[in-house]
Amino acid sequence: MPLPNKEQNQPSSSPSPSASKKGKLYIVGIGPGSVEQLTVHAKNVILNADYILGNDTYLDQIESLITTQNVYRSSMGQEVDRAKEAVKMAENHVAVMVSGGDANVYGMAGIVIEVAERNHLDVDIEVVPGVTAMLAGASVLGAPIVTDAATISLSDLLTPWEVIEKRLDLASQADFIISLYNPKSRQRTSNFERAIEIIKRHKPAHVPVGLVKNALRGDEQEFIVTTLGDVLNYNDWVDMRTAIIICNSDSRIWKSPHGDKIITPRGYQKKYEY
Ligand code: SAH
CB of 208 shorter than 6 A to ligand 1: no
pLDDT single digits (tens) 207-219? 999 999 999 999 9
**Helical (H) or strand (E) element with 59:** helix 56-61
Domain shared by 158 and 191, yes or no? yes
- pLDDT averaged over every residue in the chain: 92
Residue 155: its pLDDT value, please?
96
pLDDT single digits (tens) 146-187? 999 999 999 999 999 999 999 999 999 999 999 999 999 888
- Domain extent, residue 164, equals 133-266
Residue after which a domain boundary falls, among 104, 128, 152: 128
Is position 2 within any domain? Answer: no
Distance of CA 132 from the midpoint of ligand 1 (Å): 7
Distance of CA 151 from the midpoint of ligand 1 (Å): 11
Where does the pLDDT of residue 89 fall: very low under 50, low under 70, confident under 90, or very high at 90 and above? Answer: very high
Q: In this model, does residue 246 exceed pLDDT 80?
A: yes
Residue 167: its pLDDT value, please?
98
Helix 79-89 to helix 109-118 angle, to the nearest 10 degrees?
Answer: 60
Is position 273 within any domain? Answer: no
Q: In this model, does residue 5 exceed pLDDT 90?
A: no
Q: In this model, does residue 2 exceed pLDDT 90?
A: no
**Higher-pLDDT residue of 10, 58:** 58
Residue 50: its pLDDT value, please?
96
Residues forming a β-bridge with 55: 74
Domain shared by 188 and 222, yes or no? yes
The residue contributing the CA closest to ligand 1 atom 13 is: 182
Domain shared by 138 and 236, yes or no? yes
Residue 80: closest CA among 42, 31, 30, 118: 118
pLDDT single digits (tens) 56-80? 999 999 999 999 999 999 877 788 9
Cα distance between residue 20 and residue 51, in whole Å: 10
Q: In this model, does residue 18 exceed pLDDT 50?
A: no
CATH number of the domain to which 72 belongs: 3.40.1010.10
The residue contributing the CA closest to ligand 1 atom 15 is: 181
Nearest-atom number in ligand 1 for the CA of 134 is 8
Is position 93 within any domain? Answer: yes
CA dihedral over 131, 134, 136, 142, signed as positive or negative: negative
Kindly provide the residue ranges of all beta strands, DSSP E only, lying in 156-236, ordered along the sequence: 177-181, 208-213, 222-227
CB of 106 shorter than 6 A to ligand 1: yes
Quote the percentage of the chain above a pLDDT of 90: 83
Centre a 10 Å sphere on the Cβ of residue 187 and count the other Cβ atoms it contains.
Answer: 7
